[in-house]
Structure 1
Amino acid sequence: MTNAGNSGIQNVEIIVGDISTFEHAGTYDRVFSIGMFEHMKNYGELLKKIGRWLKEDSLLFVHYFCHKTFAYHFEDVHNDDWITRYFFRGGTMPSANLLLYFQDDVSIVDHWLLNGKHYARTSEGWLKRMDKEIVAVREIMEMTYGKEEAVKWMVYWRTFFMAIAELFGYNNGEEWMSSHFLFKKK
């Protein structure tokens, strides 16, 4: 919000909440969803809910990471399913085109893919920043997870960043990637 204000943009409202329980009566010119759909299941109902917040000429931008072909649930079945257990419990890895099948309340304007190497570099950057600011990170981990669990969670986060970098860098970034959608109200 500070960046918007510094740029002279005053008509921005940032709302952070649990979309599964969030209700809102207002409407907006633009709605952005960044990294939420991977944690959701019922895309039809979700897009219906978001569609109610769109004015007639509004646009919805959705960003999510995805697999190029297959959608699959994150399932905590085996001991090595830690990334699901700690980061994506109940979530889904969407396919690149999954939202194209949910256009009852919104219509696609544009859809594009970003090579996974971009997200791999982002994850590597997060890891470098974490390592550079390790004292501050440890304090945050202690506040978030408790003093006894802080080191464990620091390892989880470091491993998460490395795993994501490897996953999205695989096959030259052409297997797992980011998908962007621009929708309008139907």
Structure 2
Amino acid sequence: AGVAHADARLYQGCQVILTPTTDTLDKQRQQAQAIWQALGCTVLQMSPEAHDAAFAAVSHFPHLLAFALMNAVTSQPQGQEFLSLAGPGFRDFTRIAASDPKVWRDIFLSNRQQLLLQSQHLQTQLQAFEALMLQGDGAALEALIAQASSARSHWHLKQHHHPQPAC
């Protein structure tokens, strides 16, 4: 929105990941790291392959899930009625489904191998949940839910000082 909205602290506390390759000169990597650190960022370094695997799991795949869930609900004859009954959980889960389709098309295609691997992991988990529901095994179902609940309770998102961080 222009210079009037400039914020010198825009990147403070943000995480930046450098993904050097064998062609990256050490001097260039050090300069990039110094620039980001001067802006207040925490700089991590990983291989492009490790980056793609990690971000398929924690960024790209959640977007895929949000798009798929919206399509799954709205493709049903009573989908609009279902949406009219949706609350904050559905809103929060699907917020990212409003993202730019062209951007996500390109991300999905460029990182398809890792996304397909994440899809396989999710399918394994869904099948485990479905099998327990079919069996009526409440104790085992509760254990799977508790496992996820505990993992989520112990995970802490690194917070940024801005309400809507640039990073």
- When normalised by structure 1's length, the TM-score is 0.27
- Bigger helix share: 2
Mark the structure with the bigger radius of gyration: 2
- When normalised by structure 2's length, the TM-score is 0.30
